[in-house]
Structure 1
Amino acid sequence: MNDRRVLFFGDSFVAGAGDPRGCGWVGRVAAACAPLTPYNLGIRGETSVQVCGRWQTEAWPRLRAEATCAFVFSVGANDACGEQPGDPPRLTIEQSTTALAETLDAARMMELPAFVVGPPPVGEPAWDERVRELTGAFETLCASRGIPYVAVAEPLLASRTWLEEAAAGDGAHPGAGGYDELTELVLDGGLRDWLAAL
């Protein structure tokens, strides 16, 4: 039996908040890349520092020596936000990149492959500018470590479906159509091939 386990760590976008189908992009990826055992470990509202502070504790019970195991990280959206519109971001670029760097280095020490999905837009112009900055910083970080990375912010900011669904919802999270688009960006951005090679 092919036991492929992929642990998806992140925030509300990983958890699939706003998706009427209840599966978000992680569930869609799992369906498209079966057989696969996905563990959705997204927690709404968490920053990269919070996600990266808990991931190892949550990972260990789900790992097995006889299984093929890997990690997908998608953080940064909450780093870019303040508590209210007009507030400054919760984390600096340096804090965000340091948290992700430490996480990727720890995953490498465990000799398990990792993939990083960049943060989606969050619906406020000033915060989305920080999302753009984080996208570039994370891409540079991943390139320096040979970690596959897919940026999603710019194409989603250009997507009428994503923007309209987010505006009709809570302002940040899309509905089913937006998650469909995010899924295709992630799969076509390298995750499909990366999963197939596990």
Structure 2
Amino acid sequence: MTHDLRFCCVGDSFTAGAGDETALGWVGRITAAAWHRGVAATAYNLGIRRDTSADIRRRTEAEVLARLLATGGDTHAVIFCFGANDTVLEDGLPRVPLEATLDNAAEVLSWSAARWPTLMLGPPPLLHEAEHDARVAALSPELAAVAAAMQVPFLPLHAPLSASAAWRHGAARGDGIHPDAAGYAAMAALIEAWAPWRALSGG
């Protein structure tokens, strides 16, 4: 192994890999691919189901510092992926208002980017409900703008995964929201093909 990469993946159920019968999710798959490129990659999966950006803002500093400050390694990094749960309606209102979501994103991205290479993945589609999915689709470019302001690379996932048969069919076979292994493989392939991730994980 030529390089030791240790990175945190902070997010919600999609980061946790909910629905994947292989228990790999996208985190396990991109970590395995880095190993195949000769990178000794250690992933810390910090995905929690139902977490909103507010939840992630509350826990990011303590959870990431506990992992990245306690370890060696040549490179440390953080990947964020959240937003879908913010757009869930409760009593007719989103769990987190848009302005607060963007403020939370700015806070965690600026904190992380000041310390380590930081990447952000846009929220994936929620194909079980058209109106909810439309809110996620509208949120993605808003989060992209925040990431750009923080000079954090952003990978939009909503459009390509909406067009992915593996994602659509995987979600349909499960709970309607989370894909199966094939869906997560499609998500991981998008991340694997993304230049900012490849620059961190062995090119």
- Give the alignment's TM-score, normalised by structure 1: 0.91
The alignment covers a number of residue pairs equal to 195
Q: 1:113-169 CA deviation, whole Å, 9 max, x = no partner?
A: 110000011221111111111110011111122111100001111122211221221
**Which structure: greater strand fraction?**
2
Q: Secondary structure at the match of 2:89?
A: coil
CA distance in 2 between counterparts of 1:63 and 1:13 reads 22
**174-183 vs 186-195, greater mean Cα deviation:** 186-195
The aligned residue for residue 119 of structure 1 is 123
Alignment of 1:26-175 (within 5 A): 26-34=27-35, 35-64=40-69, 66-67=72-73, 68-83=75-90, 87-109=92-114, 111-123=115-127, 124-175=129-180
- What are structure 2's unaligned runs of at least 5 residues? none
Aligned counterparts of 2:42 and 2:117: Cα–Cα separation in 1: 16
Query: CA offsets, 1:39-78, max 9 Å, x none?
Result: 0010001001101210111112212374321100001011
Unaligned ranges ≥5, structure 1: none
Report if aligned partners of 2:147, 2:153 keep a CA contact under 8 Å in 1. yes
Alignment root-mean-square deviation, CA: 1.9
1:152–1:186 CA contact under 8 A, matched in 2: no
> What displacement does 1:108 show?
3.0
- Residue by residue, what CA displacement relative to the aligned partner does 1:92-130 show, whole Å, maximum 9, x if unpaired? 221111101001111133x21110000011221111111
CA shift, 1:8, in A, is: 0.4
Give yes or no for contact 1:115–1:148 (8 Å, CA) kept in 2: yes
Partner of 1:16: 17
Structure 2 Cα separation of the partners of residues 3 and 185 of structure 1: 23
Cα distance change of structure 1 residues 129 and 63 upon mapping to structure 2, 3 Å threshold = same
* Contact 2:5–2:201 under 8 Å retained in 1: no
